[in-house]
Amino acid sequence: MSLENKQILLGVTGGIAAYKTAELTRLLTRAGASVRVVMTRGAQAFVTPLTFQALSGEPVRTELLDPKHEAAMGHIELARWADLILVAPATASFIERLATGRADDLLSTLCLASASPIMLAPAMNQQMWQQQATQDNVQILLKRDIKIIGPAEGDQACGDVGPGRMLEPQKILQLAEQHFHTGALAGKRIMITAGPTREPIDPVRFLSNRSSGKMGYALAQAAVEAGATVTLITGPVNLTTPRSVKRINVETAEAMRAAVFETIDRSDIFIATAAVSDYRPVTAAEQKIKKSAEHLTLELLPNPDILAEVAALEKPPFTVGFAAETESLEKHAQAKLQRKKLNMIAANPVNDNQGFDQDENQLAVFWSDGEQRFPLTTKYKLARQLISLIAEQYHST
Ligand code: C5P
């Protein structure tokens, strides 16, 4: 497992276990996560912000109303940035602040301002943990789907023995990884097309488009994390293959079609993110075309619509198409859903600074009797949201 492309907001509150969070920061970053640390005032009595700055490679935030930091990344932005908010150690006092919805320091404000999942690793004296007041607060948090991991039992820094020790960093890492590895598509085979195609004009020139492949690659990674076996059929892009993904490189639409049909009958789900060239030159010149005539006419032929062909199979997989549109997003997407007989379509606006070759995007997803909108965020986060929606719809059909 890994935490590649995951953004973790690591909250540190004031307990002696905070020294172990230094090791946790190392483990999280080594597993590939981007970590941003927020410390409460209490935490700084045990460990300095500089420790976490050195380990996370990012400035540490400690104050809610800090003009310098707010100018770089405001607290609302930081709350949205997080894929996961992990608080370790979480003291009894912090648990109480969260349960009562306070926003009187940066960390509690971030928790309140974020729609991201929250995971707490409590650490405190065993009597404080077992106290009814703490247990009542824990129950409130559990009801709100906040994950409480630990505490473990054993020797405590104060000399007591009992429940209240923070889980070991290695164990917290493992639980953070498990959080992203949902298993929602365990045992399923998913085929994804990604990137542009290249349609040769002559040995040195081709017709292509601006697709970067980023969305398809992010989906491949999210599908692996959901437990699927993933085949990625990709046009030429400048991206590394996500771990555990079988990658097949192609150039033309026809080569992409051939690669798709080789194993489509063994796929449970087909996601077409590739920006397949709609047309190709009738013939590719054998030699480089010389600059001679004033006008040069290229004759083009339509390419096969791979997605429509897959959806038209006798026993089609669950098919998901993409629709990049510059106008009338919903109307065009709905029309494509019907015309190509898809199970689902994910539409995204493309314009000068959105869509192709960007790291962020937004999606409007439609299926026969529903729709869901995912606001602008990283393609990695969007991919996880879309994969979880696909899993939900796949299992309900
Ligand atoms: O009709 P349009 O090209 O907008 O449809 C986009 C969807 O169809 C995308 O999912 C794309 O991957 C897929 N497609 C395809 N083969 C084509 C053209 C588009 O699979 N020749």
- Provide DSSP, 367-386: ETTEEEEEEEEEHHHHHHHH
36 neighbors 56 (Cβ within 8 angstroms): yes
Residue 46: what residue type?
Answer: F
pLDDT of residue 353: 66
Q: How far is the CA of 305 from the centre of ligand 1 (A)?
A: 6
Can you tell me the distance from the alpha carbon of 48 to that of 18, in angstroms, rounded to the nearest whole number? 10
For the stretch 134-171, pLDDT in tens is 999 999 999 999 999 999 999 988 899 999 999 999 99
Q: Which CATH superfamily is domain 189-396 in?
A: CoaB-like (3.40.50.10300)
Where does CATH 3.40.50.10300 sit in the chain? 189-396
* Ligand 1 near 303 CB (within 6 A): yes
pTM, whole model, 2 decimals?
A: 0.90
How remote is the C-alpha of 78 from its chain's centroid?
16
For the stretch 9-29, pLDDT in tens is 999 999 999 999 999 999 999
Residue of 276, 330, 340, 348 to test ligand 1 pocket, by largest number of atoms within 8 Å of CB:
276
* Ligand 1 near 129 CB (within 6 A): no
Where does CATH 3.40.50.1950 sit in the chain? 7-180
* Ligand 1 near 342 CB (within 6 A): no
320 neighbors 346 (Cβ within 8 angstroms): yes
For the stretch 259-270, pLDDT in tens is 999 999 999 999
* Ligand 1 near 306 CB (within 6 A): yes
Q: How far is the CA of 232 from the centre of ligand 1 (A)?
A: 16
Q: Which residue's alpha carbon is nearest to atom 13 within ligand 1?
A: 307
Can you tell me the distance from the alpha carbon of 302 to that of 257, in angstroms, rounded to the nearest whole number? 13
| Least confident window among 3-7, 261-265, 354-358 | 354-358
Minimum-distance ligand 1 atom for the alpha carbon of 321: 10
How remote is the C-alpha of 347 from its chain's centroid?
17
Q: Which CATH superfamily is domain 7-180 in?
A: Flavin prenyltransferase-like (3.40.50.1950)
Can you tell me the distance from the alpha carbon of 164 to that of 208, in angstroms, rounded to the nearest whole number? 59
Residue 111 annotated in active site: no
Sign of CA dihedral 93, 96, 100, 105: positive
